[in-house]
């Protein structure tokens, strides 16, 4: 779905606006626009993102063997997200347990960012990339990411559209720009 209104984002993919300008989503709500189809779509997309599996490998001691299920972040500004499986402790990289925030979904990113818009944008981007958000922001790629999730867990659909998770992981680990 494309934004049907607004000087700022008209014509852009609703999912792209959600990811790149979350404060706009908050602004829509503050303007009483939460019954707009774009707003409701964004709400739906947040769920879609949360339900997708992490494709980013665990950064813990399992040596990338286990599936990532959560992320952690220092309780201070300008901290980056680190990703872990259920078995590796988020403190295993030497972090102080009491200074770490641990979460697994979009809402956690919001509370971690404590209203700081720059951090919010950075962390949302990092989180969605860990869920396979496309680097190519074409309408087709965005539709594939956001609207394809109903059949995402259907094996035949995975084979057709997402050849294997391994391939996806390989592709993802090549995207150095995000992680360095």
- Using CB under 5 A as the criterion, which residues of the chain lie in contact with Zn ion when the complex forms? 58, 60, 62, 66, 85, 88
Cβ–Cβ < 8 Å for 90, 100: yes
Q: How far is the CB of 54 from Zn ion (least distance, A)?
A: 11
Question: What order do you get walking across the sheet with 100-103 strand by strand?
Answer: 82-84, 70-74, 100-103
Cβ–Cβ < 8 Å for 68, 56: yes
Our CB check for Zn ion shows the closer of 13 and 56 to be: 56
Our CB check for Zn ion shows the closer of 22 and 127 to be: 127
Half-sphere exposure of 59 (CA within 13 A, CB side): 18
Q: How far is the CB of 46 from Zn ion (least distance, A)?
A: 26
Q: How far is the CB of 81 from Zn ion (least distance, A)?
A: 15
Q: How far is the CB of 84 from Zn ion (least distance, A)?
A: 6
Q: Which residues of 60-94 are buried (b: 16+ CB within 10 A; e: fewer)?
A: bebeeeeebebbbbbeeeebebbbbbeebebbeee
Our CB check for Zn ion shows the closer of 45 and 127 to be: 127
Q: How far is the CB of 60 from Zn ion (least distance, A)?
A: 4
Our CB check for Zn ion shows the closer of 42 and 58 to be: 58
Our CB check for Zn ion shows the closer of 45 and 83 to be: 83
CA–CA–CA angle 17, 103, 71 (5° rounding): 85
């Amino acid at each position: 779905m494309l934004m049907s209104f607004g000087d700022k984002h008209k014509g852009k993919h609703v999912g792209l606006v959600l990811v790149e300008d979350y404060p706009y989503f908050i602004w829509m709500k503050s303007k009483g626009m939460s019954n707009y189809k774009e707003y409701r779509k964004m709400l739906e997309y947040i769920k879609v993102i949360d339900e997708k599996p992490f494709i980013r490998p665990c950064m813990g001691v399992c040596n990338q063997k286990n599936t990532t299920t959560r992320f952690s972040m220092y309780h201070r500004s300008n901290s980056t997200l680190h990703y872990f499986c259920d078995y590796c402790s988020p403190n295993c990289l030497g972090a102080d347990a009491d200074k770490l925030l641990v979460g697994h979904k979009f809402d956690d990113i919001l509370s971690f960012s404590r209203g700081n818009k720059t951090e919010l944008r950075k962390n949302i981007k990092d989180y969605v990339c860990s869920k396979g958000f496309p680097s190519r922001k074409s309408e087709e790629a965005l539709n594939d990411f956001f609207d394809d999730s109903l059949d995402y867990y259907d094996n035949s659909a995975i084979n057709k559209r997402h050849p294997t998770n391994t391939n996806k992981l390989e592709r993802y680990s090549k995207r150095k720009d995000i992680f360095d």
